[in-house]
Every structure is written in C-alpha cells, then in structure tokens.
C-alpha cells in the first residue's frame, strides 16, 4: 500500500477549488511513493458548496475516471493535513489505494448486505435520522471487530452524503447520481485493511467518579445515594439562592457518563474512550434531580466535567503518540531513524511511518478556537504524526466503537504492513 494522494482548497467558486485539488492529486499520483491508480475517493465539502454537491461529485468522477467508488459528506468545517476550513467554501479529497474486494460502499438505500465480511466501517450519518444511536450500534454489531468510526454530517442547510459504487450507482438507487440525504452511508472494510483508530475527549473531569444510584428517563435522581441536585450544588460550590452565579457555572458544566460496569474516570484522572459527554439541560428542584441530554440508568459511572482546551490538547497528543508508537518499527536503520526524527515541518511523508492516509472527525465545538488558534488542532496531529495524507470534517456528533460522542475527535489511520530496517 502506497501513500494516498490528497488535495484540498478553498475558493468562492467550486470549480476553482476543485481544479486546485485535482492539480495536487495529479502531482502526487506521479510521485513514486504515492498510489498512481487509487480506487476509492473520500470527498468532504463545507456547507457553502452543498447546493453544488452533485456538480462537484460529477466533475471529480469525470476528471478521475479510474476512481470507481466514492464516499463522503458535508460539514460546517472540513480539514486536511494541517489546515482547517471553517465557515468558508472548501473541499478536500483523498484517494485510497485499496483492492476493490477489500471494501464496500453502502448507504441507507443500498445497505451493507450479505456477501461481504466487514471488519469495521467509516460511517457518515444524518443527525435527523430516527433511532440513530441504535442504527450505529447495529452497524457496529455487523462488523467483525464490533467497532465503526466516523461522524454526523453538519450543515446550516442541506445535510448531504456521497455514496457511489463502481458502476456509478448503488443497487436500489436507480439513476441517482450519488448524492443522498438521510440515514447512514460510508465504506465498510474487510479484515485485510489495516486500521488504527483512537478517540480523544475534549473535556476534563472536575469531580471524582460517582455512580448513578437513581434515575428516571433522562433525569439523574441519585448520585452515590445522595440527591443528585444536592451533590451537583455541593461539588460545584454554587447555590440556587444566587441564580446568576449558579447559571454561569452550570452553562460550562457537562456530564461524562459510562455504561454500567465501566469506568468514567481513568487512573490518570481523564476520561476514557467509553465515556459519553452530555449537556445538563435542566434542574428538577422538586425531585432534587439533574436532567441531561441522554437516557440514564442506575449503575452508570459518571463525573461532572468542563470543556478544557488544555486537557483537549494533551489528550490529542496522547492518542497521536499511541498511534505513532504502535506503527513505528521496533528496529530501524540509522538513516531511517534520522529521517523520522526531522523537524515535522521539514519531514516529508515517509512510507516507513506506515501511515498511508488518515481520516479525522472532530466536533464542531472544537477546532482552532478551542485549541488556541487557527489550525491548531490539526497542527497537533501533524507535529505528532508528521506530514501524512489526512482529510476529515467537523461533525455534529462523532462515531467511534458502537457509540455516538460529543466534543471528541476520532482519528483513524490506514496502515501499511511492517517492513524491516
């Protein structure tokens, strides 16, 4: 597997942006370390281009006839390598060099059927889809690993997804051109496609882990056998007798929940991958309860938390380090070690990093502003992994494992087999 060609650009006219991205793709496809005949295209556009989505897809398919399959979606922001395009017209494309029998494009109209053994899947979804959480869990359960990754499309207008199979259509789509609305879509991958995926949380616990001891629907009634509201007020040092002060603190406070039997706060004092962060949406003084944007049940571990840029940066560095350590050869020659140790700004993509390409899905509430400046989030990844092909988007919810997250980043890399020296 060679490096995946990728291109990205911003321009008020989509034709100009597409032309710039195509020029980058073609230049890379002519280089020896990059794939020259990739088969799968991943396309992400900002919602500025939503009305032209079909034109963009048709143009790319015509200009890249060797790329038989396409998947992607729309976001209020997209990303590529070390660049974030937020609230501006932009597109990003990555061409994946995978054998056609090792992946399968699917959509709600043409779901993943029998005849293909999926090990995991890149999933794009419409947040307006009924029972979305159950659909994601069902999709994950149909894979060999029991895990999927991706995110919910985000848009101030039409919520669109791309799904095109080898002959230009998918079974059941009729003559549709590959741009769809609603449900799930994406790419399922067989066990032969090597992937490493990690979740980074954007929040930091501000209390110790507690257990939900009483709940009804989405209202937490008891925490460690105490009334939940009393515990909240005590842990945050606020009083309802000073409502303005209390509301200011509550607006910045969220709840991190895990499934019964799990753990909310790890040994390092941070949230683990299994934690779902949800808003506090109301207080119930009569029942001394706390309402959250999630169905809650007794036995769930939880902790109150706050969004924290410093913690988010540290956790993003952590998952990048885990990926890098998992992929770099245990033994390497002196020239290779010197090459990989170059300052990242000078370090060109290197096959021995074993990363052919990467997809990053981040929350719309993250991005540069949360990390201290434009492109800062993507620069953290670039600094840790080097110049690797990467595309992605800012989502209305992130998908990892079998769950739907918020305020997280999901980084997935396509890896190549290890080689000696």
Please give the Cα distance from 125 to 105 (Å, whole number). Answer: 14
Q: Is the pLDDT of residue 419 over 80?
A: no
What is the mean predicted confidence (pLDDT) over 68-76? 96
338 or 192: whose pLDDT is higher? 192
Q: Is the pLDDT of residue 385 over 60?
A: yes
DSSP assignments along 327-394, one per residue: HS-SS--HHHHHHHTS-GGG----GGG-EEEEEEEEETT-HHHHHTSTTHHHHHHHHHH-S--EEEEE
Q: Model confidence at 351, in pLDDT bands (50, 70, 90)?
A: very low
The Cα-based distances of 302 to 112, 121, 292 in angstroms read 35, 29, 12
Average pLDDT, the chain: 87
Contacts of 161 by beta carbon, 8 Å cutoff, 6+ apart? 72, 73, 74, 107, 124, 126, 153, 179, 180, 181, 185
What is the mean predicted confidence (pLDDT) over 90-118? 89
343 or 8: whose pLDDT is higher? 8
The Cα-based distances of 368 to 72, 79, 318, 365 in angstroms read 22, 11, 18, 10
Helix (H, G, I), strand (E, B), or coil: what is residue 134? Answer: helix
Query: Could you tell me what percent of the chain has a pLDDT over 90?
Result: 60
Q: Is the pLDDT of residue 263 over 50?
A: yes
Q: What is the pTM of this model?
A: 0.84
Query: Could you tell me what percent of the chain has a pLDDT over 70?
Result: 88
CA atoms within 13 A on the CB side of 403: 15
What is the mean predicted confidence (pLDDT) over 375-403? 91
Q: Is the dihedral of CA 399, 401, 403, 406 positive or negative?
A: negative
Q: Terminus-to-terminus CA distance in the chain, angstroms?
A: 18
pLDDT at 369 (0 to 100): 65
Q: Is the pLDDT of residue 94 over 60?
A: yes
Q: Is the pLDDT of residue 194 over 90?
A: yes
Which of 144-158, 350-364, 379-393 has the least mean pLDDT? 350-364
DSSP 378: H
Contacts of 244 by beta carbon, 8 Å cutoff, 6+ apart? none
Q: Is the pLDDT of residue 175 over 60?
A: no
Find which of 85-99, 200-214, 337-351, 380-394 is predicted with most confidence, using mean pLDDT.
85-99
Backbone angles phi, psi at 138, to 5 degrees: -65, -40
Q: Is the pLDDT of residue 232 over 60?
A: yes
The Cα-based distances of 175 to 58, 140, 169 in angstroms read 13, 29, 7
Q: Is the pLDDT of residue 346 over 50?
A: no
Please give the Cα distance from 84 to 75 (Å, whole number). Answer: 12
Please give the Cα distance from 3 to 12 (Å, whole number). Answer: 30
Which of 228-242, 371-385, 396-410 has the least mean pLDDT? 371-385
Please give the Cα distance from 43 to 6 (Å, whole number). Answer: 10
Look up tokens 């020029």; give the residue. 23
Look up tokens 């040994």; give the residue. 267
Please give the Cα distance from 281 to 105 (Å, whole number). Answer: 38
pLDDT tens, residue by residue, 315-331: 888 889 889 887 865 54
Q: Are 199 and 410 in contact (CB under 8 A)?
A: yes
DSSP 353: G
Which of 263-267, 334-338, 347-351 has the least mean pLDDT? 347-351
């Amino acid at each position: 597997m060679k490096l995946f060609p990728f291109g990205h650009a911003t321009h008020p006219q989509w034709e100009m942006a597409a032309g710039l991205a195509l020029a980058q793709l073609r230049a890379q496809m002519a280089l020896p370390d990059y794939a020259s005949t990739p088969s799968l295209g991943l396309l992400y556009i900002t919602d500025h281009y939503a009305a032209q989505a079909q034109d963009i897809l048709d143009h790319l398919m015509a200009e890249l006839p060797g790329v038989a399959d396409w998947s992607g979606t729309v976001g209020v922001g997209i990303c590529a390598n070390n660049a974030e395009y937020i609230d501006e017209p932009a597109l990003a494309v990555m061409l994946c060099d995978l054998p056609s029998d090792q992946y399968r494009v699917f959509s709600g109209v043409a779901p993943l059927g029998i005849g293909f053994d999926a090990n995991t899947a890149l999933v794009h979804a419409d947040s307006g889809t009924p029972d979305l959480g159950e659909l994601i869990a069902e999709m994950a359960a149909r894979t060999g690993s029991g895990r999927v990754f991706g995110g919910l499309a985000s848009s101030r207008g039409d919520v669109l997804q791309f799904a095109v199979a080898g002959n230009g259509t998918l079974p059941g789509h009729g003559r549709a051109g590959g741009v769809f609305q609603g449900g799930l879509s994406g790419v399922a991958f067989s066990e032969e496609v090597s992937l490493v995926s990690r979740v980074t949380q954007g929040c930091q616990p501000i209390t110790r882990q507690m257990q939900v001891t009483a709940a009804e629907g989405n209202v937490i009634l008891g925490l460690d056998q105490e009334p939940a509201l009393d515990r909240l007020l005590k842990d945050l040092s606020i009083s309802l007798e000073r409502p303005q002060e209390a509301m200011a603190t509550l607006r910045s406070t969220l709840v991190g929940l895990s499934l019964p039997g799990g753990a909310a706060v790890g040994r390092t004092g941070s949230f683990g991958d299994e934690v779902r962060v949800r808003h506090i949406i109301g207080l119930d003084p009569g029942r001394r309860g706390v309402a959250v944007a999630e169905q809650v049940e007794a036995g769930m571990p939880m902790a109150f938390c706050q969004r924290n840029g410093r913690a988010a940066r540290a956790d993003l560095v952590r998952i990048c380090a885990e990926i890098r350590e998992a992929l770099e050869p245990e033994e390497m020659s002196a020239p290779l070690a010197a090459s990989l140790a170059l300052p990242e700004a000078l370090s060109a993509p290197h096959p021995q990093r074993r990363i052919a390409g990467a997809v990053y899905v981040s929350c719309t509430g993250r991005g540069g502003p949360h990390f201290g400046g434009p492109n800062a989030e993507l620069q953290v990844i670039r600094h840790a992994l080097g110049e690797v092909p990467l595309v992605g988007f800012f989502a209305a919810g992130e998908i990892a494992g079998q769950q739907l997250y918020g305020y997280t980043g999901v980084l997935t890399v396509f890896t190549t087999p290890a080689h000696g020296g």
